[in-house]
């Protein structure tokens, strides 16, 4: 038993790739040790990473594989030995098994006597095996972007490999990766430790030896220390809090080996700029955390996570340097803001003609016109369904929605498109309703983002996306497989989210119809609309299953009963999820599956499903028919009221009659009349009670 | 605590703009680099100078450093913005192949210009460089010091559309921002360019360059004659294309003499491509290129650059085989 350490030292790895690579290295090492029978009973694997290294420590690695014994059976004894002397067959078998002829044994099996050989294989030493196998595993790690660095281009990796540590207890495992020989020497923090070697006596010492060299190798520990330091430093400002930002935490965790935090300030005058701009500059451009006061308003401070530890003088220097950069960026932003105000959004409509939306389609002026056409259709459908909104403000918002693409501020901060337009619209007195709609138009940006807060914003968001999807599908740019460069899936997800979470009385088909270009009007079943309907339905499936977390069978069951009304589909899925837990309902689901199978068989055999005159149902069938007939109006009523839970509970009460029916009735009765009537009955039951969900899709145990 | 609170001043010992360049040059010269002078044709970045674009091709090791004035017409601000310039100066370094301790050498170069690394926060943050007009890309970092990018550090993978073998390290120091950082001034125009050792009198960056920034901004944004720029562009492009047609015929002609092949003026052809690139930037600053045209224009320039790179690689192979 031994402990094992592998550390791969690299030039700084991109922060976004480290967590995935660390996990993959751990998995590869674990799988390798398991595959090669080298993991001891107390085997425990821990991974580490910093910007300059990936590492894995394994406790309880076996020094070598266990020896193995294998019994081989050869030719029959009679063939192998003639008069006690080995024949050519015996010699051939002994050679193949790697044993002496004298070691061959007589093995008696039920089929007779055969020649047997016991082959012993000595287990290979862990060091030898790891030296051979690990380099392949390491070089197979996936990286989003790779590079060559050695002449002749023998291998690709995320960044050049600079050093390797591979130890089994205190012994170096003689492996080589990318021309680098493994040793027992690591490296510490570039500045705080410098270039002197960090000697590692054994894998157990790894974490602490590196800590002495100013490297915290444990990612969770760095994360926690950053959070603590953010708290501690923020406390120096009374009432202040730092703004939680998990993605930013992850980034700085992977940019540091020895993280510390510094608080800096900026001039309060910049608080006159919109918070969105200030936060974007701090977070996206400078990787600073924003600070807010007790009321949640942005305060004129920032928090920078450093990769160094300095004294008070050093802190002053670094604080000053960061503040200087931030001030310059804020100054730029303010300059852009002021410049942009000189040309109001309304005067920018014309210049959209020179901003390309899509090469084959046209400019953003074209896009805005198309959006207007689509939004008018959607607005009409929504009005017809009883929605209220300000149409004039909506149309104003559509008209101006894309104009912020021509502003300097959006050119500088592209991630703020829409938001900037909304802020400008507000500043230019275009009315709160239009401004908010413009501001929200790209929401939700992801499945966990909020939808636009107003009906106008929701309609604009729907129109913009369905127009893009339809136009792109129209020129053959539908997403395929993992390829979706135009993020059409995300656009479709947003449509589903808006329909699910808004109060708009719109169905998927309304949205698809509104997006259809005018030349397709009157041909609702065109290939394009069919294709797009299917695409949206697939996104609804994704939404129910992966965003809302419904079981796949529930999703299939409710979608089979209708997928046009998104909110209704969700309500049915919720009711079905609750109902399926009851034993009665499970039995009903099983019965419906049976009904479906029988009907399919009947169809395959060409059997008639109809009640012929004079047909007589047997008592259990009659009971089912009666129960179904009396229940159906009740269920229909509940369904209409969308009281799906109650409707499903009612359906579950059918269980005794259904059970009795299948118990006593042979549905495919030899008598044609009886059979036809039975089939007609179960067909009626299936149709009558499948309006909420196709229960036959429900998986029962 | 206020933002105006000043740090321990960096000024007294800070290098002047020209000293900064001297120090970088001597640091790298002491590590085996050739020092070149700036290339005398307009370029947008040090990468485009032949000392990078052509030298990175082929197997021959090479180490060179040079200051390269880099023109970006659209970035001009009439001298009114303290951080944005029409023309800035890059100290460009090519290490082919990159030594294994290239990052450590780089850190030493920062110490050589007076940065105490123990008193600053330094990070290598992923930033992959791509130059579409010259068919070049690489992976690397922006080197951040106290929140400011001070160097672009790239492991060049491809140039002129050709895979590089060996690859090289390209270090690009932005001299203006580095000097502003060292001298702790908010405006690049306040950077001390030179200080008279006897009198202590200073000449600032603004004294030397402000007028230039203003006049070039006026020309680039207001006066550059768009139809003539197009004409120039087309002329340069046509001549470059003609030369490329000729060199391709020559290089594939078995009967042509090696001497004729080696003396073919590919370097001049490349200059014509650079002229196109600068004219494109001017047209862009004049707002004469629509977003749609843009892609096509970049492709036209890349075609020239890639054509030169391919022919040059073939020509070099010829030179090394004879």
Residue B267 has pLDDT above 70, yes or no: yes
**B215 domain-assigned:** no
pLDDT tens profile B193-203: 999 999 999 99
Smallest Cβ–Cβ distance between A321 and the set B1, B124, B148 belongs to B148
Q: DSSP per residue over B21-84, as a string?
A: HHHHHHHHHTTTPEE-PPPSS--SSGGGSHHHHTTTSSS--EEEEEEEEEE-GGG--TT-SSS-
Report A:106-125 residues touching B (Cβ under 8 A): none
How far apart (Å, rounded) are the C-alpha atoms in residues A314 and B239?
57
* pLDDT per position as a tens digit, A233-253: 999 999 999 999 999 999 999
Tokens of B55: 């030298």
Asked, for residue B307, whether it belongs to a domain, the answer is yes
Q: Which residues of A touch B145 (CB under 8 A)?
A: 321
B5: confidence class by pLDDT, cuts 50, 70, 90: very low
Nearest to A149 among B8, B122, B167 (CB): B167
Which of B150, B178, B208 is the C-terminal boundary of a domain? B208
- Do B103 and A359 make contact, defined as CB atoms within 8 angstroms? no
Going by their DSSP bridges, the two strands B62-71 and B34-35 should be labelled as: parallel
SS (H, E, C) A542-591: HHHHHHCCCCHHHHHHHHHCCCCCHHHHHHHHHHHHHHCCCHHHHHHHHH
Query: Does residue B154 sit in the same domain as residue B234?
Result: no
Please tell me the predicted confidence (pLDDT) of residue A332: 87
Which of B119, B177, B294 to mutate against chain A (most A CBs within 10 Å)? B119
Report residue A56: phi and psi, to 5°: -140, 135
Q: How many domains does chain B have?
A: 2
Angle separating helix axes A419-427 and A312-341, nearest 10 degrees? 60
ipTM of the prediction: 0.93
User: pLDDT at position A423, please?
Assistant: 96
Inter-CA distances, A393 with A375, A377, A401, A435, B296, Å: 12, 16, 12, 9, 39
Q: CA–CA separation, A237 vs A293, rounded Å?
A: 9
CB-CB under 8 Å, B118 with A335: no
Rounded distance, CA A469 to CA A496, Å?
13
Spell out the residues 6+ positions from residue A461 whose beta carbon is closer than 8 angstroms to its own: A440, A441, A442, A443, A451, A452, A494, A498
**The three-state (H, E, C) secondary structure of A222-247, written as one string:** HHHHHHHHHHHHHCCCCCCEECCCHH
8 Å CB contact of A321 and B7: yes
Measured CA angle at A370 (ends A369, A371), to 5 deg: 90
The tens digit of pLDDT for each residue in B51-105 reads 999 999 999 999 999 999 999 999 999 999 888 899 999 999 999 999 999 999 9
**Same-domain status, B188 and B133:** yes
Nearest Cα to A2, choosing from A34, A35, A31, A44? A44
- Kindly state whether A145 is in contact with chain B, defined as any CB-CB distance less than 8 angstroms: yes
Structural domain harbouring B267: 224-321
Query: For the segment A333-392, what is each residue's pLDDT rounded down to a tens digit?
Result: 998 999 899 999 999 999 898 787 887 888 899 999 999 999 999 999 999 999 999 999
Q: Which conformational region is residue A603 in: left (phi greater than 0), alpha (psi within -120 to 50 degrees), or beta? A: alpha
Residue B12 confidence (pLDDT) = 57
Helix (H) or strand (E) holding A408: helix A408-412
Residue B294 lies in a domain: yes
CATH number for the domain harbouring residue B68: 3.30.930.10
User: Distance from A36 to chain B by nearest Cα, in Å?
Assistant: 35
Contacts of A365 in chain B (CB under 8 A): none
Residues 6+ apart with CB under 8 A from A109: A73
Q: Looking at the structure, do residues B315 and B230 belong to the same domain, yes or no?
A: yes
Domain-terminating residue out of B175, B208, B241: B208
Q: Could you tell me if B155 and B43 lie in one domain? A: yes
Inter-chain touch A316–B124, beta carbons under 8 Å? no
B66 with B26: CB under 8 angstroms?
A: no
B284: domain CATH number?
1.20.58.180
- B44 lies in a domain? yes
Distance, in Å, from the CA atom of B286 to the CA atom of B277, rounded to the nearest integer, reads 14
Is residue B169 domain-shared with residue B203, that is, in the same domain? yes
Whole-angstrom Cα distance, residue A557 to residue A593? 11
**Is residue A319 within 8 Å of A262, Cβ to Cβ?**
yes
Contact A201, A169 (CB under 8 A): no
CB contact under 8 A, A317 and B126: no
Query: Rounded mean pLDDT of A168-188?
Result: 97
- Closest chain A residue by Cα to residue B167: A149
Residue whose C-alpha is closest to residue A21's, from A48, A40, A3: A48
Same domain, B141 and B237: no
Cβ of B7 and A11 within 8 Å? no
Residue at B218 is within a domain: no
If you average pLDDT over residues B227-252, what whole number do you get? 97
Considering the domain architecture, whether residues B156 and B196 belong to the same structural domain is answered as yes
* Residue A262, both tokens: 């510094």
Q: Which two tokens stand for residue A176?
A: 């080589």
B36 and B173 co-located in one domain = yes
Q: Which residue of B has its CA nearest to A251?
A: B125
In a domain, B175, yes or no: yes
| Domain assignment of residue B181, yes or no | yes
Q: Based on the fold, state whether residues B243 and B187 are members of the same structural domain.
A: no
Beta strands B202-204 and A53-61: pairing type? unpaired
DSSP secondary structure, B229-289, as one string: HHHHHHHHHHHHHHHHHHHHHHHT-TTS-HHHHHTS-HHHHHHHHHHHHHHHHHHHHTT-S
Pair B65, B177 in one domain: yes
Q: Report the helix count and the strand count for chain A, using DSSP H and E.
A: 25, 22
Average pLDDT value for chain A: 93
Q: What's the rounded Cα separation, in Å, for the pair A14 and A594?
A: 56
Which of A149, A192, A323 has the CB atom closest to B155's CB atom? A149
Q: Identify whether residues B152 and B231 lie together within a single domain.
A: no
B19/B73 same-domain check: yes
Give pLDDT tens digits for A66-115.
Answer: 999 888 888 999 889 988 889 999 999 999 888 888 888 888 888 889 99
B4 in any annotated domain: no
Q: Which of B157, B181, B208 is the last residue of a domain?
A: B208
Cβ separation A322–B126 shorter than 8 A: no
The arithmetic mean of pLDDT across residues A208-215, rounded, is 98
CB contact under 8 A, B290 and A317: no
Question: Rounded CA gap, A82 and A91, in Å?
Answer: 12
B8-37 confidence digits (pLDDT tens):
444 557 999 999 999 999 999 999 999 999
Q: How far is B3 from chain A (nearest CA, A)?
A: 5
């Amino acid at each position: 038993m031994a402990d094992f350490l592998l550390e791969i030292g690299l030039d700084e790895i991109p922060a976004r790739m480290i967590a995935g690579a660390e996990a993959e290295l751990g998995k590869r090492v674990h799988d390798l040790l398991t595959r090669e029978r080298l993991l001891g009973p107390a085997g425990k694997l821990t991974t580490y990473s910093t910007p300059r290294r990936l590492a894995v420590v394994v406790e309880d690695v076996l020094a070598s594989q266990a020896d193995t014994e294998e019994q081989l059976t050869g030719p029959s004894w009679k063939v192998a030995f003639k008069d006690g002397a080995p024949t050519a067959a015996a010699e051939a078998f002994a050679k193949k098994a790697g044993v002496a002829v004298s070691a061959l044994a007589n093995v008696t099996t039920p089929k007779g006597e055969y020649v047997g050989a016991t082959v012993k294989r000595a287990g290979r030493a862990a060091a030898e095996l790891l030296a051979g196998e690990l380099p392949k595993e390491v070089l197979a790690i996936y990286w989003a972007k790779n590079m060559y660095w050695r002449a002749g281009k023998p291998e690709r990796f995320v960044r050049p490999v600079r050093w390797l540590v591979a130890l089994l207890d205190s012994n170096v495992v003689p492996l080589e990766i990318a021309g680098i020989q493994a040793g027992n020497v690591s490296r510490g923090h570039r500045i705080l430790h410098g270039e002197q070697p960090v000697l590692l006596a054994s894998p157990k010492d790894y974490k602490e030896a590196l800590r002495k060299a100013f490297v915290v190798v444990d990612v969770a520990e760095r994360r926690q220390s950053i959070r603590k330091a953010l708290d501690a430093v923020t406390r120096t400002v009374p009432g202040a809090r730092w703004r939680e930002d998990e993605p930013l935490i992850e980034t700085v965790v992977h940019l540091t080996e020895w993280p510390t935090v510094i608080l800096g300030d900026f001039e309060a005058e910049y608080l006159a700029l919109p918070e969105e701009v200030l936060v974007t500059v701090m977070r996206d451009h400078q990787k600073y955390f924003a600070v807010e006061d007790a009321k949640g308003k942005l305060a004129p401070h920032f928090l920078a996570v450093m990769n160094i530890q300095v004294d008070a003088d050093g802190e002053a220097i670094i604080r000053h340097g960061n503040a200087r950069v931030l001030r310059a960026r804020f100054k730029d932003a303010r300059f852009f803001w002021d410049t942009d105000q000189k040309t109001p959004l309304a005067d920018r409509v014309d210049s959209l003609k020179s901003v390309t939306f899509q090469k084959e389609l046209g400019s953003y002026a074209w896009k805005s016109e198309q959006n207007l056409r689509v939004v008018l259709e959607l607005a009409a459908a929504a009005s017809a369904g009883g929605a209220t909104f300000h149409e004039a403000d909506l149309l104003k918002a559509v008209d101006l929605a894309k104009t912020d693409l021509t502003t300097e501020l959006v050119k500088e901060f592209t991630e703020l498109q829409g938001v900037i337009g909304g802020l400008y619209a507000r500043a230019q007195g275009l009315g709160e309703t239009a401004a908010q709609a413009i501001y929200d138009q790209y929401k939700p940006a992801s499945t966990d983002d909020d939808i636009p807060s107003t009906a106008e914003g929701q309609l604009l968001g729907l129109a913009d996306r369905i127009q893009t999807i339809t136009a792109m599908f129209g020129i053959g740019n539908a997403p395929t497989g993992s390829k979706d460069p135009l993020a059409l899936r995300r656009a479709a997800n947003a449509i589903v989210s808006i329909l699910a979470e808004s109060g708009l009385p719109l169905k998927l088909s309304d949205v698809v119809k509104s997006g259809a270009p005018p030349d397709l009007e009157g041909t609702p079943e065109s290939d394009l609309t069919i294709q797009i309907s299917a695409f949206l339905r697939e996104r609804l499936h994704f939404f129910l299953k992966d965003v809302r977390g419904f079981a796949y069978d529930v999703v299939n069951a409710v979608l089979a009963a209708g997928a046009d009304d998104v909110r209704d589909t969700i309500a049915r899925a919720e009711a079905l999820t609750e109902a399926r837990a009851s034993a009665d309902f499970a039995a009903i689901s099983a019965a419906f599956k049976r009904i479906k199978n029988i009907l399919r068989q009947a169809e395959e055999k060409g059997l008639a499903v109809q009640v012929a005159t004079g047909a007589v149902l047997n008592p259990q069938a009659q009971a089912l028919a009666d129960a179904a007939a009396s229940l159906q109006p009740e269920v229909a009523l509940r369904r209409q009221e969308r009281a799906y839970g109650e409707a499903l509970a009612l359906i579950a009460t059918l269980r005794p009659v259904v059970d009795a029916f299948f118990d006593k009735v042979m549905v495919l009765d030899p008598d044609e009349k009886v059979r036809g009537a039975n089939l007609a009955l179960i067909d009626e039951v299936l149709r009558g009670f499948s309006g909420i969900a196709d229960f036959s899709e429900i998986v029962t145990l | 605590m206020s933002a105006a609170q000043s740090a321990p001043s960096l000024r007294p010992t800070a290098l002047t703009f020209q000293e900064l360049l001297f120090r970088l040059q001597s640091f790298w010269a002491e590590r085996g680099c050739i020092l070149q002078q700036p290339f005398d044709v307009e370029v947008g970045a040090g990468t485009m100078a032949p000392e990078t674009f052509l030298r990175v091709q082929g197997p021959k090791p090479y180490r060179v450093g040079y200051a390269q004035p880099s023109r970006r017409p659209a970035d001009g601000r009439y001298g009114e913005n303290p951080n944005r310039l029409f023309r800035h100066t890059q100290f460009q370094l090519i290490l082919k192949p990159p030594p294994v301790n290239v990052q450590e050498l780089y850190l030493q170069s920062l110490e050589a210009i007076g940065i105490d690394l123990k008193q600053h926060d330094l990070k290598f943050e992923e930033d992959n460089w791509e130059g579409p007009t010259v068919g070049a890309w690489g992976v690397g970092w922006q080197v951040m010091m106290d929140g400011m990018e001070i160097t672009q550090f790239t492991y060049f993978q491809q140039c002129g559309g050709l895979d590089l073998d060996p690859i090289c390290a390209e270090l690009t120091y932005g001299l203006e921002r580095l000097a502003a950082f060292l001298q702790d001034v908010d405006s690049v125009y306040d950077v001390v360019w030179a200080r008279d050792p006897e009198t202590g009198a200073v000449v600032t960056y603004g004294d030397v360059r402000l007028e230039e920034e203003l006049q070039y901004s006026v020309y680039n944004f207001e006066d550059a004659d768009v139809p003539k720029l197009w004409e120039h562009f087309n002329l340069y492009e046509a001549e470059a294309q003609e030369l490329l047609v000729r060199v391709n015929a020559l290089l594939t002609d078995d009967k042509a003499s090696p001497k004729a092949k080696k003396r073919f003026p590919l370097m001049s052809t490349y200059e014509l491509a650079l002229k196109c690139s600068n004219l494109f930037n001017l047209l862009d600053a004049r707002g004469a290129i629509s977003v749609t045209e843009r892609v096509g224009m970049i492709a036209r320039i890349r075609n020239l650059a890639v054509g030169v790179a391919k022919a040059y690689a073939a020509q070099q192979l010829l030179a090394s085989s004879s």
